[in-house]
């Protein structure tokens, strides 16, 4: 067994594992092998590889993509990214033929140690509420529930084609909107969630560098009727998936649900103009106003997730 970082040549095998081992998510996401290959090669092309290597050298890696190689093939993998206070694991997957060999535990331990080395106090991950086997493993590894989150989906982006024009009071997002929107987003967030996964204005502002690296296109809008932003949503299209992604809407308590739904429809119309096959959004349970806006715009609750976490010590 060898644990190492992902290489560009691993992309086809990575796609195979994601496609077969995450069937419920894949029905919604619709991963594209050619898109994944493009992004992996873009991320690991020489100039970017030099930057990533330098950041890792000084102890500030943007991410780690661990794989386990056994008998000449990739049999397990996970992606570790870094938020403000936590390392965040995605796609913890082991080939069924290689389970019960401790590979998942090895990936979790590598990720915990890498997060600690990055100076973050917590490590977190998402798991389907229905995946009892994985949840039991994570519990043994010291993870406990932080919050529940739902995948919302809309299967007919074309229904929003006429919503691409901004209605009155809806305008493009400006960087100066980020701080007041972060204040709104923190309303009602449990203290424990804010401790582990704090909402910050940098999260809302986004990163153009990351979008370029991932070959994605992103836009954002706010609801502003003259007194500053009271609502926000962003949308992203990427070559990696058929589905376009909407961020969980931020909605001030004073905003009527139908008004917030107009904001969602604008984002959905933008995605429709870019030929998205379906639309997806992830919204945590404490964001009741954002969830209500998605439902009012025609999205349905498709999957339930648990976000789990533990300290790195």
Whether 135 maps to a domain, the answer reads: no
What is the dihedral sign for C-alpha 28, 237, 197, 182? Answer: negative
Tell me which of 192 and 212 has the higher pLDDT: 192
pLDDT at residue 240, as a whole number = 83
- Do 291 and 171 fall within a single domain? yes
Tell me which of 52 and 84 has the higher pLDDT: 84
- Do 281 and 189 fall within a single domain? yes
Q: Of 22-36, 87-101, 129-143, 282-296, which gets the smallest average pLDDT?
A: 22-36
Q: Does 294 have pLDDT greater than 70?
A: yes
**Domain residue limits at 27:** 2-120
What is the rounded average pLDDT of the residues 188-201? 94
pLDDT at residue 209, as a whole number = 56
- Do 108 and 161 fall within a single domain? no
Choose the final residue of a domain: 97, 120, 143: 120
What is the rounded average pLDDT of the residues 186-209? 87
Whether 248 maps to a domain, the answer reads: yes
Whether 127 maps to a domain, the answer reads: no
Q: Does 61 have pLDDT greater than 60?
A: no
- Paired with 284 in beta bridges are 149
Q: Does 59 have pLDDT greater than 70?
A: no
pLDDT band with cut points at 50, 70 and 90 for residue 46: low
Strands (E), the chain: 2-5, 63-70, 73-82, 86-94, 122-128, 144-154, 170-172, 217-223, 231-237, 243-246, 250-251, 278-284, 300-311
Please classify residue 283 by burial: count the beta carbons closer than 10 Å to its beta carbon, then call 0-12 exposed, 13-18 middle and 19+ buried: buried
Share the mean pLDDT of the chain.
89
Nearest one of 266, 183, 186 to 223, comparing CA atoms: 266
Whether 181 maps to a domain, the answer reads: yes
- Do 188 and 281 fall within a single domain? yes
**pLDDT tens profile 79-110:** 999 999 999 998 899 999 999 999 999 999 99
Tell me which of 208 and 29 has the higher pLDDT: 29
**pLDDT tens profile 10-35:** 888 888 888 888 888 888 888 887 77
- Number of domains forming the structure of the chain: 2
> Token pair for residue 127?
């798991």
Choose the final residue of a domain: 64, 97, 120: 120
pLDDT at residue 51, as a whole number = 45
**pLDDT tens profile 301-311:** 999 999 999 99
Whether 130 maps to a domain, the answer reads: no
Whether 142 maps to a domain, the answer reads: no
- Do 177 and 279 fall within a single domain? yes
Contact 286, 193 (CB under 8 A): yes
Q: Residue 71 maps to which CATH number?
A: 3.40.630.30
d(CA 182, CA 83): 15
- Do 60 and 164 fall within a single domain? no
pLDDT at residue 52, as a whole number = 46
Whether 126 maps to a domain, the answer reads: no
pTM of the entire predicted model? 0.88
- Do 172 and 262 fall within a single domain? yes
Tell me which of 31 and 180 has the higher pLDDT: 180
- Do 176 and 281 fall within a single domain? yes
Task: Return all residues near 105 (Cβ < 8 A) that are at least 6 apart.
Answer: 137, 141
- Do 116 and 188 fall within a single domain? no
d(CA 104, CA 191): 30
Whether 242 maps to a domain, the answer reads: yes
What is the rounded average pLDDT of the residues 249-275? 96
- Do 166 and 99 fall within a single domain? no
Choose the final residue of a domain: 96, 120, 144: 120
- Do 58 and 177 fall within a single domain? no
Q: Does 54 have pLDDT greater than 60?
A: no
Between β-strands 278-284 and 243-246, what pairing exists: parallel, antiparallel or unpaired? Answer: parallel
What stretches of the chain show up as alpha helix (H) in DSSP? Answer: 11-21, 23-29, 33-43, 46-57, 103-117, 132-140, 178-185, 191-196, 201-205, 208-213, 257-273, 288-296
- Do 107 and 222 fall within a single domain? no
d(CA 65, CA 76): 11
């Amino acid at each position: 067994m060898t644990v190492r970082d992902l290489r560009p040549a691993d992309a086809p095998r990575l796609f195979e594992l994601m496609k077969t081992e995450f069937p419920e998510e894949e029905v919604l996401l619709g991963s594209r092998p050619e898109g994944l290959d493009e992004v992996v090669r873009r991320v690991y092309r020489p100039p970017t590889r030099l930057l990533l290597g330098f950041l890792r050298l000084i102890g500030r890696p943007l991410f780690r993509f661990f794989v386990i190689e056994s008998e000449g093939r990739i049999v397990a993998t996970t992606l570790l990214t870094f938020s403000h206070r936590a390392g965040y694991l995605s796609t913890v997957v082991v080939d069924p033929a290689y389970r019960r060999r401790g590979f998942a535990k090895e990936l979790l331990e590598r990720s915990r140690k890498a997060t600690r080395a990055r100076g973050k106090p917590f490590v977190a991950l998402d798991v389907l509420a229905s995946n009892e086997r994985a949840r039991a493993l994570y519990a043994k590894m010291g993870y406990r529930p932080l919050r529940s989150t739902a995948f919302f989906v809309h299967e007919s982006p074309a229904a929003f084609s006429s919503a691409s024009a901004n209605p009155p009071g809806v305008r493009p997002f400006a960087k100066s909107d980020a701080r007041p929107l972060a204040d709104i987003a923190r309303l009602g967030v449990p203290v424990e969630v804010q401790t582990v996964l704090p909402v910050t204005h940098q999260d809302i502002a986004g990163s153009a560098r990351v979008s370029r690296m991932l070959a994605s296109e992103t836009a954002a809008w706010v609801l502003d009727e003259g007194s500053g932003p009271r609502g926000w949503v962003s949308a992203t299209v990427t070559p990696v998936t058929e589905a376009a992604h909407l961020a969980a809407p931020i909605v001030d308590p004073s905003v009527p649900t139908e008004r917030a739904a107009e904001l969602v429809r604008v984002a959905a119309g933008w995605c429709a103009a870019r030929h998205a096959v379906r639309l997806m959004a992830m919204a945590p349970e404490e964001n009741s106003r954002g969830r209500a806006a998605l439902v009012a715009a025609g999205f349905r609750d498709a999957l339930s997730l648990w976000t789990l976490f533990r300290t790195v010590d």
